[in-house]
Amino acid sequence: MQFTIQHEDVATQARTGVLTTDHGNIATPIFMPVGTQGTVKGVAQRVLVEEVKAQIILGNTYHLYLRPGIDIIEQAGGLHRFIGWQQPILTDSGGYQVYSLSKQRKITEEGVHFISPLDGSRHLFTPENAVDRQRSIGADIIMAFDECTPFPCTYEYARLSMERTHRWLDRCGNHLIKTQSHYGYQQAFFPIVQGGIYPDLRRASADYIAKADFPGNAIGGVCHPTGQLYEVTKWVCDILPKNKPRYLMGVGTPQDILESIALGVDMFDCVMPTRNGRNGTLFTPKGRINIKNQCWKRDFSPICTSLGNVTSAVYTKAYLHHLIRVGERLGAQIATIHNLSFYLWLVQQARQHIKMGNFSSWKAAIIPQLMQKIT
């Protein structure tokens, strides 16, 4: 994997680049649709490419391990072949999912023991088998197995959690060099910065991850309700090497994406566009729409004509209002395609304005529009 920076903004830390993988190039900054179980809910792979303009999608090791099973994916020749996706894939290690089981898991130095919520069977995720499973899945970018530091937590717990993440990273790295890709193409490994909301811990973790010298780096554990996302991101981006891609995990709102691009982040993922779409919330360049509201019942104008995708330009607000209100699956599908198209449009616009040299002024002008609620 190679990362080449092409343009840098003069007023912020924003930059455009190209991430080169064996399954294709990725223009950054980029948003990655979440395909947890080998699918972006309700959206065919062809539509993701042709309409949404997705360049890379995510899979989740925990979910794919439970269903359909790593052996099935291996027999298919890897996740790309199993799901019919020819472009790059990133896999989360599953650390966040096993951690979030709370009452059904136990964290030890060895790894995380957990009980499957599907059938009550017992399982163990370790740094080593997380690498092995991601090798078998065949993602182009694979993630370190970390402990997602909880929020809120004490300074002492955050420190111990961070130090465990670092020890697990060392084990991942040692195991990585003993293994190789199952399918003949390169798999890049990204470690994850932790440390909670504590500045010295975040900086210490960023320094540790930077010195590990892997192809890219991720920032984890930022999805907490304290409003410190930008502070944490800045602390970390000031330390992580500029010549490697930075991936802010689980973020987020359109505003958060643009502000984080300004801080030097290159890659994003979040379930917000898909989950909100299924619930009837649409993102547009002029603000958010709750399509369930009665004001859209007789609005026969297109959902949006400025995103460059067919779905948003063909279907009307009145029709989508009807579909969502009566619970038709097509409504969730249309809303999901629209929202993902908007997110990919947004990062494309960010790339364009970085190249033009006016990213900062464009960001300042568009964020108030994006935050509006259109009724």
- Which residues have a catalytic role annotated? 92, 269
Whether the ω angle into residue 191 lies within 30 degrees of 0, i.e. cis, is no
Q: Are 63 and 134 in contact (CB under 8 A)?
A: no
Q: Which residues of 187-204 are buried (b: 16+ CB within 10 A; e: fewer)?
A: bbbbbbbbbbbbeebbbb
In which residue are the tokens 């017992």 written? 122
State whether residue 279 is helix, strand or coil.
coil
18/28 Cα distance (integer angstroms): 6
180/229 Cα distance (integer angstroms): 36
Residue type (1 letter), 41:
K
* Phi, psi for residue 259 in degrees, rounded to 5: -65, -35
47/187 Cα distance (integer angstroms): 26
Q: Residue 77: left if φ>0, alpha if ψ -120 to 50, beta else—which one?
A: left
344/271 Cα distance (integer angstroms): 14
Helix (H) or strand (E) holding 114: strand 112-115
- Work out whether the CA dihedral 223, 229, 234, 235 comes out positive or negative: negative
111/61 Cα distance (integer angstroms): 15
- Residue 8's nearest CA partner among 349, 304, 357, 303 is 357
Residue type (1 letter), 215:
P
